[in-house]
Every structure is written in structure tokens, then in C-alpha cells.
């Protein structure tokens, strides 16, 4: 894992001191709310429905046990005993007091964490593959590049006031587990003639205008990735719409300019950048990369797993995936218990996972964009012990990528932007489809729910997506089918008129019934939908 150097530590601590002063001036009236709001947002502090909300960055979703323990401690000490893991692999605390915010940031700085750039029109937390460094299908660990981009983008003076927020994702595998093509810029590391570089995608995103990003370059050498991104951002910063926030994302610029013209301008800027010598020194990438060198795995370990306990065997089949090292496994921890709140974890659960990471996963864990957690380096011989401890804590649900592994934004229960509640719907669906055999029969089926058009719940990318809207003060839910955030990325299509909360649960059941009736051998729900199209589903739903 990356560890802060003195420079990283000093700039984070300086920001804490600066914010402490700003909060003090706000509390004494030296700053008005209009003056203070942009300052608190730069430190991840929002004012939500019930209180201030603090969003803490978890760079590329990677945490140490010590960091995770601190997140649990903050939940207990400063919040109401829980936190919410988000689709941006961050954590949010819902009940923060303004006066406590500087102390929380100081505690985070003590474990090399912060909330910088988790809001505002800047480059946000860099996201990546939750299996980075441990999956067999990647060409390289993408996290050194993600960390390099974190450093490059932190306090970047030219990109602090972009036309709109900007999200970057780095992956290095054929399987896209991070919704890379639904980011403003996506990088996919590839190998060409023995050299590492990146395919670059630009102009993806969700929100009110969902778009899957087109590829704008098929290979950027690794030592020029930063310069190339700088060129991408410069063109966006120059031409992005600042007059209309709904047309300000890079996806609109790429769409309106046209991909070829955007590419041409980026290449022109890139050619200029190349003359300036702005690429970070190779030694810096090497320094960062050294932090991500694979741990010293034990050798000679057995791959055998005692499956005599049926509940454990079920969990292994669903939650445990192959690790690149013999004798090890990747453990997915579901934050989607039956009838629970997707992504929420109590302080005790957070601290338990911290302890499990330390004891069983070489002191490392990950947060996924699907609002789950991952222990990336567990010896197969330890799986049963890990499962027992997770089970005792209510964290042993076996539903990875099944219909109850639902993504849901906080919705109208917490969010001031929301139009409808996402979580109660997720809970009803979780209950309706709780039977394990039914979930297994349906197979991979990704349900994603957003409480407003901003699409924090990724509904556009759901095999089944639900968007909550406000219809004359009453919650209403639009259903969409056929989205995907994976390597076969697509935007879902709306089925037709919306539903009440109970109505959309019934509609989803009709959709799944039709899928089971129509599917062919080996087809996932998404495959069947793509083969037979929307019409039969509409007929099943609306009659």
C-alpha cells in the first residue's frame, strides 16, 4: 500500500489547520454561509437533509486495517455509530457537527486520509478495480497510476475550478469491475510490445445525460499518461460549458464537439505538452510502484477448502473469487444483508473488518463501487475462520452480483438533492427475492437504484435500473432495463410509465419471471434482454 511521504503528510495537515481556522471564522460570524460553503465543500463537508455530512476519500478504494479502524472510531465518536460506503468507494458520515469537522479531519490525517476534493468542480477521488494487484487477468496493478494521478490532481491549480466535477478511473484488466467507461476519463492499462501504456476513454458518465465513453487513444506510453491527461483536461477546461451546469460535464463537450474534433484538439495540446517536459520523473512512478509491490505470499499453501459446512460452502461459491497466488483467495464481504441498507456498516462492523484485514488479509482491504468490501489476500486455510467472524457480525450474506446485491444511493432519506427514497425500495426488493435458490436461479442480475437524476445509484448502468422521481409531491419510480457498467457497458432503456414503490417491486418480479421463461442456455438476464429486446418485457409489465 502507498504510504504518505513528508510532503503528502504536510499538505494534508496544512489543510486541516486551514479548515480549522475557516470553521472558527464561520462560527464567530467572520464568514457568511455564502463565503463558507465553497470552503467546506472543498473539504467534503455538505449540508444534507438532517445534518452536515462528511464525505471521506478512500483513494482507489484501498485501505489498511489502521485506516479502517479509524473510520469505525469516527463513526462511533462523532457520528451515530455507522457510516455509508458509496458508489465512489468513499465513506459518508451523516450526522456531523460543524465544530467537530476539523477534529475529524485531524484524526483522518493521522492515518493518512482526508476529505479533500470529495466535492466541488475538481478532479475527484480516483477509482479503480477492487481486485487490483490480486486478479490474474490484469496486465499490471493499476493502483500506482491511480496514486500518481491522485498526487497530480490534488490541489492542481489549473483544475481546481473546472466547469464541473471530474471523475477518473484506472483499470488494467479485460473485465471492467469499476464502471470505467462511465467516468469522465477512463484509463485501461494495456501491454503493447512489452511496454505498458493506456487506452484512454473520455466523455462517459451518468447523471441526466448518460453516455458510455468513446475511446480517444489506443495507447499512451506509461511515462506520458499524466501529460496526456493534462491535455484532455486543458481542452475540457477551455471549452466546457460554464453557463449551464447541466451541460458542463466533459461528456457534453465530447458529444457536441464530436469525438474526432475533441481528439484532434487533445492531440494538438498533447504535442505542445510534450515540449514542456511536464511528465513526472520516472523515479517518482517507481517510488510509488514500490509501495504496491506484491506482499510476500506464503508458498506451498494448499488450495483445498473444507466445504463440509453447507452455509460456508454456499458463501465460498458466491463471495470468494480466484487470487493470483496459489493458496490465497479474494473475499467479497456483502454490505447487503437481507432487508438491510446497501452500503451501511456499523462502527462495530467496520472495526471487525479492520481486524480481519490485519489478521487474515495482510493488513489490506478494498471498497467496491457496488458498496461492498473486499479482503484481497486471504489464505484459503483461513476462509472458514473469516466466514465465522463475518457471520457473527451479520456480514456473511452470499449474494455477490445477485439480484439482492443492490446498489442504492442514500436517496430522500438523507440527501437534499433526492426526489424519492431509494433505500426502502432496495429493502423491499431484498425481502421479495430473499430466497437463496431463487437468487441463484436468476444468476447475475445487477439492480441499481437512484433517488434522483444525478444517478449516484448508477441506475443507468443497472441490468435493472430504477430512478426515483417526484410526481406532484409523490414518490414515483421509473424502471429501465439493459444497462451495464462492465466491459460491455451500455445505458438502460426506460420501460414506460412509472410505478409506486410497491408497483415497481411487482414490475421487477414480472421482468425476472419473463427472463426465466425466455432465457436460453447460459444466458444472463442482460444477455436475454439484449437478444429479445424491450418489447416482451413491456408486454409483461404493462399487459
Q: Which residues bind another protein (CB under 8 A)?
A: 26-29, 33, 47, 49-52, 80, 94-99, 341, 412-414, 416, 418, 421, 423-424, 427, 470, 473-475
Cα angle for residues 414, 420, 421 (degrees, 5° grid): 55
CA distance 466 to 205: 17
CB of 82 to another protein, least distance (A): 9
Minimum gap (Å) between residue 351 Cβ and another protein: 20
Residue nearer to another protein on the CB measure, 42 or 149: 42
E-only strand ranges, 207-274 = 215-221
Q: Which residue, 51 or 325, is less far from another protein as judged by CB?
A: 51
CA distance 67 to 73: 10
Q: Please, which residue, 4 or 78, has the CB nearer to another protein?
A: 78
Nearer to another protein, 30 or 293 (CB): 30
CB of 103 to another protein, least distance (A): 14
At residue 112, φ and ψ (nearest 5 deg) are: 60, 45
3-state secondary structure 401-442: CCCCCCEECCHHHCCCCCCCCCHHHHHHHHHHCCCHHHHHHH
Beta carbon of residue 431, minimum distance to another protein (angstroms, whole number):
13
| Closest approach of another protein to the CB of residue 140, in Å | 41
Rounded to 5 degrees, φ, ψ at 283 are: -60, -30
SS3 306: coil
Q: Look-up: residue for cell 483445498?
A: 304
Nearer to another protein, 81 or 497 (CB): 81
- Residue 290 burial (C-beta neighbours within 10 Å; 0-12, 13-18, 19+): exposed
Question: Between 129 and 413, whose beta carbon lies closer to another protein?
Answer: 413
Q: Which is nearer to another protein, 276 or 474 (CB)?
A: 474
CB of 420 to another protein, least distance (A): 8
Cα Rg of the chain, angstroms: 23
How many Cβ atoms are within 10 Å of 191's Cβ, its own excluded? 12
Select 26 or 460, whichever has its Cβ closest to another protein.
26
Would you state the cell numbers that stand for residue 504, as one nine-digit string?
415497481
C-alpha cell recorded at residue 33: 454561509
Cβ proximity to another protein, 222 vs 475, nearer residue: 475
Query: Chain centroid to CA 467: how far?
Result: 18
In the numeric block, the cell 430473499 is attached to 434
Range list of β-strands (E), 41-183: 45-47, 52-56, 62-63, 82-85, 91-96, 127-128, 168-171
- To the nearest whole angstrom, how small is the minimum distance from the Cβ of residue 395 to another protein? 19
Query: Least CB distance from residue 423 to another protein, whole Å?
Result: 5
381: number of Cβ within 10 Å = 17
Q: What angle do CA 69, 72, 78 make, to 5 degrees?
A: 130
Nearest distance in Å: CB 85, another protein: 16
Compare residues 341 and 383 and give the one whose CB is closer to another protein: 341
Phi/psi at 522 (nearest 5 deg)? 80, 0
CB of 134 to another protein, least distance (A): 34
H-type alpha helices, 28-64: 33-41
24: which residues sit within 8 A by CB, 6+ positions away?
Answer: none
Amino acid at each position: 500500500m502507498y504510504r504518505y511521504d513528508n510532503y503528502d503528510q504536510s499538505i494534508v495537515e496544512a489543510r486541516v489547520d486551514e479548515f480549522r481556522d475557516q470553521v472558527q471564522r464561520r462560527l464567530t460570524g467572520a464568514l457568511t454561509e455564502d463565503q463558507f460553503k465553497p470552503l467546506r465543500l472543498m473539504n467534503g463537508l455538505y449540508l444534507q437533509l438532517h445534518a452536515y455530512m462528511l464525505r471521506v476519500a478512500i483513494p482507489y478504494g484501498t485501505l489498511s486495517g489502521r485506516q479502517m479502524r479509524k473510520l469505525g472510531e469516527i463513526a462511533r465518536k462523532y457520528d451515530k455509530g455507522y457510516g455509508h460506503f458509496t458508489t465512489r468507494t468513499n465513506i459518508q458520515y451523516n450526522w456531523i457537527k460543524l465544530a467537530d469537522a476539523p477534529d475529524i479531519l485531524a484524526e483522518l490525517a493521522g492515518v493518512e486520509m482526508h476529505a479533500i476534493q470529495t466535492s466541488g468542480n475538481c478532479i475527484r477521488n480516483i477509482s479503480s478495480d477492487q481486485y487490483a494487484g490480486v486478479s490474474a487477468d490484469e496486465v499490471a496493478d493499476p493502483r500506482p497510476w491511480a496514486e500518481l494521478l491522485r498526487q497530480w490532481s490534488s490541489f492542481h491549480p489549473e483544475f481546481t475550478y473546472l466547469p464541473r466535477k471530474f471523475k477518473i478511473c484506472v483499470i488494467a484488466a479485460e473485465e471492467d469491475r469499476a464502471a470505467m467507461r462511465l467516468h469522465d476519463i477512463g484509463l485501461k492499462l494495456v501491454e503493447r510490445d512489452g511496454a505498458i501504456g493506456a487506452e484512454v476513454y473520455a466523455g462517459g458518465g451518468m447523471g441526466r445525460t448518460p453516455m458510455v465513453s468513446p475511446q480517444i487513444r489506443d495507447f499512451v506510453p506509461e511515462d506520458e499518461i499524466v501529460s496526456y491527461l493534462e491535455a484532455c483536461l486543458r481542452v475540457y477546461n477551455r471549452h466546457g460549458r460554464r453557463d449551464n451546469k447541466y451541460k458542463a460535464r466533459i461528456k457534453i463537450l465530447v458529444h457536441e464537439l464530436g469525438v474526432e474534433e475533441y481528439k484532434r484538439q487533445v492531440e494538438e495540446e498533447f504535442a505542445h505538452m510534450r515540449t514542456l517536459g511536464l511528465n513526472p520523473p520516472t523515479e517518482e512512478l517507481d517510488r510509488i510502484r514500490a509501495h504496491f509491490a506484491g506482499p510476500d505470499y506464503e508458498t506451498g499453501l494448499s488450495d483445498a477448502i473444507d466445504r463440509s459446512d453447507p452455509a460456508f460452502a454456499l458463501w465460498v461459491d458466491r463471495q470468494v473469487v480466484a487470487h493470483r497466488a496459489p493458496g490465497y483467495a479474494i473475499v467479497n464481504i456483502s454490505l447487503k444483508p437481507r432487508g438491510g441498507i446497501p452500503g451501511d456498516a456499523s462502527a462495530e462492523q467496520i472495526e471487525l473488518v479492520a481486524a480481519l484485514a490485519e489478521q487474515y488479509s495482510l493488513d489490506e482491504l478494498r471498497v467496491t463501487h457496488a458498496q461492498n468490501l473486499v479482503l484481497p489476500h486471504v489464505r484459503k486455510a483461513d476462509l472458514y475462520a473469516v466466514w465465522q467472524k463475518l457471520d457473527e457480525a451479520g456480514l456473511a450474506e452470499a449474494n455477490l452480483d445477485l439480484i439482492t446485491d443492490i446498489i442504492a444511493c442514500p436517496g430522500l432519506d438523507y440527501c437534499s438533492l433526492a426526489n424519492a427514497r431509494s433505500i426502502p425500495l432496495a429493502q423491499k426488493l431484498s425481502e421479495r427475492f430473499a430466497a437463496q435458490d431463487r437468487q441463484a436461479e436468476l444468476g447475475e442480475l445487477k439492480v441499481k437504484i437512484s433517488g434522483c437524476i444525478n444517478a449516484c445509484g448508477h441506475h443507468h448502468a443497472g441490468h435493472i435500473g430504477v430512478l426515483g422521481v417526484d410526481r406532484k409531491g409523490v414518490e414515483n419510480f421509473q424502471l429501465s432495463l439493459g444497462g451495464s457498467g462492465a466491459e460491455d457497458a451500455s445505458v438502460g432503456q426506460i420501460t414506460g410509465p412509472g410505478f409506486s414503490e410497491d408497483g415497481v417491486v411487482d414490475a421487477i418480479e414480472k421482468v425476472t419471471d419473463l427472463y426465466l421463461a425466455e432465457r436460453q442456455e447460459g444466458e444472463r438476464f442482460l444477455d436475454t434482454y439484449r437478444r429479445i429486446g424491450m418489447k416482451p418485457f413491456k408486454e409483461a409489465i404493462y399487459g
